[in-house]
Structure 1
Amino acid sequence: LDFAILINFNHTDFTKWTIVKVWYSNELFASLDDLNAQYNNNSIAKTKVTKPVNDVNLYSSLKRRGEYM
Structure 2
Amino acid sequence: MAGGQRFSLRISRSLKKEVARLAQADGVSINTWIHAAIARRVGGEVTAEAFFKRLRETSLPSAMLTLLKQSQED
Assess same fold via TM > 0.5: no
TM (norm. structure 2) is 0.24
* The structure with more strand, counted as a fraction of residues: 1
* The structure with more helix, counted as a fraction of residues: 2
TM (norm. structure 1) is 0.25
* Highest RCO, 1 vs 2 (Cα 8 Å, sep ≥ 6): 1
